[in-house]
Structure 1
Amino acid sequence: MERNTKFVDMLEDRRRDCDFLWATRPMDPALPHMLPPDSVYDRERIMQAVLQDKQVKAAIDTIAKTTGVGVKDVENNARAMINEMASKADLATVRWIGIFITKAMKRMFSQIYINEIMLSNLKKETQISQAQYIYVPSHRSYLDFILLSYILFSYDMALPNIAAGMDFYNMKIVGELLRKTGAFYIRRSFSNDLLYKQIFRSYVNTIVSHSDRAIEFFIEGTRSRSQKSTIPKYGLLSIIIESLLQGDVPDIYFVPMSINYERPPEELLFVYEMLGVPKPKESTARLFRSLSILQKPFSHGRIFFNIGEPISANQFVDKAYRQKKILQPSFKIPSSVVENIAYLIIESHKKNTVLMPINIIALLFNEKIQTKPKEPYTLDLLIQDYQWFKSFVIKSLKALMYGTETTDNDMIKQEILESLKPHDELIVLDSSNTLKIKQRHKRMKQLNYSNIKGYPLSEQTLQIAVPAINIAIYSNPTLAFLTEIVFITATIGENGIETEVALERYELLRRLFSTEFAMRPIEDKALIKIEWEKSLNVLISQNCLHTVNDLIFIGNNTKLFSILHNIILPFIDVMYVTCILLSEWTERTSVELTDRTILVETQKEVERLIFETKDRCQHPYCLSLDLYNIAWSSLLSQGIIAYQKYTNTYRTDKVKLTYLIGALLELPLRHPTEIYVDAFPSIISTSSMDVQAKL
């Protein structure tokens, strides 16, 4: 990717201008929903429209009859709900917040690169289209929605209606300020609250049809602590798509936006959350304490903000659906339509991911620790490996990556050193120019173990796991481009494999880990085969694999094969250990099988394996609770475990479980000969013990 072809550093002008004059400049923000003036509703009119909605009124009457509470009291409750929910956009507030935000952005980040061509095209298109626009960013940090609003304000575009959680609403002062920047608040769970559910549905329908501002929400629901895509959530998306059936808007355009951080502000907190330490409760006081990250200039490096092609809902919601809605008011859009749009958005996020040098460095360093920990990983060796792997992902996988394509060692060296600067609390070069890890974990004081979500890990484990998982998090963005080919490396043995068997194993892994890697579920085996063949050809072109008649063998490029193979090992290992624990559950413990108990037992077992075996779960990333939760979800979706409603426990399908364990055992996995915990002391920096874990 050429540095200046598509992406422009929006902070460059801000560093030259007066922040106050910029924030208070004359503005006429471009509104993305072209509506006649009488069709644009202000906050009060939106609230009234919601309260007059037929389904909301029916819910009020139903609740009054079933509970014996007066209709007026239920109406007052409904009015309080919509008042709590509705946004209150105020440009003056946005201007004042903009002064502070721009100062913070200029302090924290060296550059914020934005795909200005795509943004300009979007701005032009919204001025001639009567469709409603929905901004759908990836979710990697709390900063995401602030960043999008900051970009829109910078380019004289109206701030959207932003779906926000109640965590922010409950923050003193901050909650109301965010409301005035466009936030509308949603309770985390309300499936059993008929009145709230109908009010929320009506509010979304009303702002889709009668707000001249766009809507913004995170289709992944929550931040991806692992920094890779997570499966979409369908709730809000389905309500928005249902709005199209009302006929008040000609079309709805979903605009996917990929946000990529060189160093996300919550970096270390994400590591601890993945290990089971609960995230701190959001509060205004904690927000002010977090401003300590502003002490060091450019401490979080660069951000890349990329915009995908808008996705028209009309492609999927045809006239037949609209006619059904007219004839049957209770008609709902098929779930397959919602799922299709959701995965198109996620796939756009992946395709438009911009990799940064730290992602490749972390991947290479992680491989070195596992395979040759006693050999110093010098800057010169890193330069060679970095140039080679960067060329592979750009040319063979068509990945977007920061920087210019060059073979000049000095330029590559500068690119690497520049990328390491924001990470000097994690990865450093010692006096001999050898890569070392800094010890990020400091003994935690006054930790309430009753709040731990998993098994209370030992201090020895945390000393190793915290920096190891920290590095793994930075390698994870590469999985947007690597997932399919890493699956294949787990299916090919030393003595080769029949093509048909290799494809069967690929289908198994894809089915097991489609949730883990946010892959669209595919039942059609012909489509899976096409996907497999495309990835297989990539590996053949790199001499990772070669074919003879109907057999596939490992090629001469064992270096690339090893990197790709080792990426997938923690995910397969955790799935296998979870299955073994489930098969032995009644023999191991008398505790009832629940999602909580299996999570604790799996993390406990993985901690043991990390120190005691070379066969499974060597890498500390296997301790991540994300892996257990997703493994559990995958087994549920396949009927290998089933929920028993009356006892609130689970049972296993022994036949399916036994088959899966056998299939996983047949995979020709090659675990590193070096045990990670033994390798760790040789790559740890001895001058880093003053680093504090900010919990």
Structure 2
Amino acid sequence: MPNSPDHVDNPRLVSARQKDIYEDILEDRRHSSDFVWSFRTREEPKYKYNKPRTPDEIRKHVMHSDRVKYAVEQVCSESGLPIEEVWKQAEEVMQEMSHNLSMGAIRGFAMFLVKVLKSLFKRVYVNTEGIQKVREMLLEYPVLLMPSHRSYFDFLLMSYVFYSYDLPLPVIAAAMDFMGMKFFGWLLRNSGAFYIRRSFGDDMLYWAVFTEYVQSQLVNGDHPIEFYVEGTRSRTSKSYAPKFGMLSASLEPYFKAHIPDIMVIPISISYDKILEETLYAYEILGVPKPKESTSGLFKARNLLSEDFGNVHVHFGEPLSIRKYTDGKVDRSVHSLAPRYIASLSDDENKLIQNLGYKVLLLHQEHMVISPWSLMAAVLVQNKDGIKIKQLVKEVEWIKRQATNLGAYIDWPGNESADAVIRSTLALHKNIAEVDNEDVVHLLEIQHPTRGSQDELMQAAAQHLIITLYKNQLMHIFVRVSMVTLSINSCTEETMSMNELYSKYEFLEHLLNRDFIFMPGCTKQDFENAMLTLTHNCGVVVEDDLLQVKKSTNKYTTFFSQMFEPFLLGYWVSLNHSYLDIG
């Protein structure tokens, strides 16, 4: 069991409690009473302009707001329905959506959750400097929390971290899927979850209730508001393109001068081992996602006997919306219209979109890369097996390249590479094993609830799980790789820098649904990639001409090979589409 004494204290399996900028917040919980911890007195920082309100008072404020009254009148006018019926619909939306945050429920949930976390994870690391900045921000500003989203556990971890550090519990935008779970749906609602539909379409009434509910809590600073800018969990371990509905609703009070500033806090959550790894692989293969249910949750309790390694939660530098938009928007354009009617300007919408991409790039910047991600990049190209000695050699080389490009690798400094590789293989023993001849082999992957699948499905699932972990590296190499793809595919002796940039620009456009690129930064990204390649990777440029033969080496080949499957995927899809049309 992960919480057994041997498991906790073995230095070959876990990093120290204090590590660089991180501290483990599970360590104390392994040595003292969970009951005392859960029911202790907590002193939370409060927003300086906050007027305390109960969940019922928040709901009443929303239903009496000018925005909702206006929406009701418009719906009545357009639909011809009696006003009483429309008000009833608005009340139903409010009741369905709103949280019922209760300290009693939270304390009980905290005691249950900490036991689950101690069973699942060796350590939960948090950067303490980031927590201190969050504490300071909560006193002075309304706060938006925007974590990365790789697992269902993300929002539970966020609430646990805030409870551990005596910070006010966030209210969390949650999908309707959870609401129907018996007891658990109620527990989440009472722990701060508010349930929203995945799509509102042109439902004016729903938009009005939702927008007022979010903005009312933000403006009054009732609680920090947490939502995922990607909109849903990433099944591939790559960042999804941002969604802007929740972000627009949250920032509107600033643009309309209702509040002087909002603080956005990007949070990166990195897992050594993702709980849903097998489910994700089969979902991508078309096997339907299991419906969220309390019975399904209890069936998954066998996970508590497994080891999922470490989690790192990194709180990034707070982003001031006032500073981010300074000189770029004119808030006075909204001064003549009621706040609940006027829409945002084109400049404001553009800034919101840029902010969404910026938050995702900040997520990536502070992701912690596990040794398994490095190993996956090697194993995916050695399906028939690879000697441990060779695996160690290749992983150490990739580690150097990733570190040179700014990645934070969670690599124990007091351990040999061989020990790190072997302990990592032990953690992922469901995916790979070492035979008697010290050769690492990949294992067949069965669906966790449907049992055996045919050989083709199992082989595909195996590939996808390894790729899922390799993908955790891809954002580090994507820009240099888009340059090296053009170098390695060139049949001429030289290539002009203009031509190289043109090909880079094309690849960015092609891959912008797979990777995150900041709009308007293509030229800067290209120049930074070229600096890295010319200074560290042997790429040669003379008289504004890239020397192709001199520049082709192990670095350019490795970077290119990591991304060739994406281009091959597009090529196969295009050929398939062409044949269908023909």
Give the letter for the 1:225 counterpart. Answer: R
Change over 3 Å in CA distance of 1:24–1:521 after alignment to 2: same
Aligned to 1:360: 374
Pairwise CA distance, 1:368: 3.4
Change over 3 Å in CA distance of 1:543–1:201 after alignment to 2: closer
Q: Classify the secondary structure of the residue corresponding to 1:222.
A: coil
Aligned to 2:26: 11
Q: Deviations over 1:169-210 (max 9, x none)?
A: 111111111011111110122213221111111111111112
- Deviation larger for 74-83 or 496-505: 496-505
1:12-91 → structure 2 map (5 Å cutoff):
12-31=27-46, 33-37=47-51, 40-91=52-103
Residue pair 2:278, 2:448 contacting (<8 A) in 1 also: no
Pairwise CA distance, 1:246: 4.2
Aligned to 1:471: 466
Q: Deviations over 1:502-546 (max 9, x none)?
A: 221111001111221021233xxxx53332122123223344532
Aligned to 2:215: 205
Give the letter for the 1:191 counterpart. Answer: G
Q: Classify the secondary structure of the residue corresponding to 1:123.
A: helix
| 1:437 matches 2:434 | no
Corresponding residue to 2:305 among 295, 300, 319? 295
1:262-661 → structure 2 map (5 Å cutoff):
262-296=272-306, 299-317=307-325, 321-329=330-338, 330-333=342-345, 334-369=348-383, 373=384, 377-394=386-403, 396-404=404-412, 411-441=416-446, 459-492=454-487, 493=490, 495-499=492-496, 500-522=498-520, 527-549=521-543, 550-555=545-550, 558-587=553-582
Residue pair 1:543, 1:557 contacting (<8 A) in 2 also: no
Q: Deviations over 1:76-95 (max 9, x none)?
A: 12111111111111111111
Change over 3 Å in CA distance of 1:543–1:215 after alignment to 2: closer
Q: Distance in 1 between matches of 2:386 and 2:553?
A: 19
Change over 3 Å in CA distance of 1:291–1:555 after alignment to 2: farther
Residue pair 1:511, 1:521 contacting (<8 A) in 2 also: no
Residue pair 1:34, 1:212 contacting (<8 A) in 2 also: no
Q: Distance in 2 between matches of 1:338 and 1:355?
A: 29
TM-score when normalising by structure 2? 0.91
Give the letter for the 2:217 counterpart. Answer: I
Q: Deviations over 1:437-481 (max 9, x none)?
A: 01113699699xxxxxxxxxx934213211111101011111121
Identity of aligned residues (%): 28
1:215-230 → structure 2 map (5 Å cutoff):
215-230=225-240
Aligned to 2:261: 251
Q: Deviations over 1:273-296 (max 9, x none)?
A: 111112111011111111110123
Q: Classify the secondary structure of the residue corresponding to 1:572.
A: helix
Q: Distance in 1 between matches of 2:158 and 2:448?
A: 37
Give the letter for the 2:527 counterpart. Answer: E
Q: Distance in 1 between matches of 2:337 and 2:164?
A: 45
Q: Distance in 1 between matches of 2:245 and 2:426?
A: 41
| 1:184 matches 2:190 | no
Change over 3 Å in CA distance of 1:109–1:442 after alignment to 2: closer
Corresponding residue to 2:132 among 120, 134, 157? 120
Aligned to 2:7: none
- Deviation larger for 560-569 or 458-467: 458-467
Give the letter for the 1:532 counterpart. Answer: F
Residue pair 1:507, 1:528 contacting (<8 A) in 2 also: yes
Q: Classify the secondary structure of the residue corresponding to 1:14.
A: helix
- Deviation larger for 188-197 or 100-109: 188-197
Residue pair 1:428, 1:435 contacting (<8 A) in 2 also: yes
Q: Classify the secondary structure of the residue corresponding to 1:65.
A: helix
Change over 3 Å in CA distance of 1:249–1:383 after alignment to 2: same
Q: Distance in 1 between matches of 2:214 and 2:245?
A: 11
Q: Classify the secondary structure of the residue corresponding to 1:491.
A: helix
Change over 3 Å in CA distance of 1:544–1:363 after alignment to 2: farther
Aligned to 1:647: none
Q: Distance in 2 between matches of 1:400 and 1:148?
A: 21
- Deviation larger for 239-248 or 208-217: 239-248
- Deviation larger for 344-353 or 330-339: 330-339
Q: Distance in 2 between matches of 1:5 and 1:158?
A: 26
- Deviation larger for 195-204 or 330-339: 330-339
Give the letter for the 2:528 counterpart. Answer: K
Q: Classify the secondary structure of the residue corresponding to 1:140.
A: coil
1:147-186 → structure 2 map (5 Å cutoff):
147-186=157-196
Q: Distance in 2 between matches of 1:417 and 1:308?
A: 32
Give the letter for the 1:90 counterpart. Answer: S
Q: Deviations over 1:128-154 (max 9, x none)?
A: x1x101110000001000000001101
Q: Deviations over 1:383-407 (max 9, x none)?
A: 222222212211x20111112557x
Pairwise CA distance, 1:328: 3.4
Give the letter for the 2:29 counterpart. Answer: R
Residue pair 2:271, 2:311 contacting (<8 A) in 1 also: yes
Give the letter for the 2:365 counterpart. Answer: K
Pairwise CA distance, 1:494: 5.5
Residue pair 1:55, 1:198 contacting (<8 A) in 2 also: yes
Q: How many residues matched?
A: 557
Change over 3 Å in CA distance of 1:554–1:252 after alignment to 2: farther
Residue pair 1:544, 1:554 contacting (<8 A) in 2 also: no
Q: Distance in 1 between matches of 2:579 and 2:373?
A: 39
Q: Classify the secondary structure of the residue corresponding to 1:254.
A: strand
TM-score when normalising by structure 1? 0.76
Gapped regions of structure 1 (runs ≥ 5)? 448-457, 588-695
Give the letter for the 1:66 counterpart. Answer: E
Give the letter for the 2:201 counterpart. Answer: S
Aligned to 1:261: 271
Q: Distance in 2 between matches of 1:545 and 1:65?
A: 67
Q: Distance in 1 between matches of 2:581 and 2:537?
A: 47
Residue pair 1:161, 1:215 contacting (<8 A) in 2 also: yes
Q: Distance in 1 between matches of 2:212 and 2:83?
A: 19
Gapped regions of structure 2 (runs ≥ 5)? 1-14
Residue pair 1:41, 1:210 contacting (<8 A) in 2 also: no
Q: Distance in 1 between matches of 2:160 and 2:570?
A: 41
Residue pair 2:98, 2:195 contacting (<8 A) in 1 also: yes
Q: Classify the secondary structure of the residue corresponding to 1:534.
A: helix
Residue pair 2:96, 2:195 contacting (<8 A) in 1 also: yes
Q: Distance in 1 between matches of 2:323 and 2:336?
A: 22
Pairwise CA distance, 1:65: 3.4
Q: Classify the secondary structure of the residue corresponding to 2:419.
A: helix
Give the letter for the 2:477 counterpart. Answer: L
Q: Deviations over 1:238-260 (max 9, x none)?
A: 11110213434221011000001
Residue pair 1:443, 1:459 contacting (<8 A) in 2 also: no
Q: Deviations over 1:338-373 (max 9, x none)?
A: 01211111111011111010010111222334xxx5
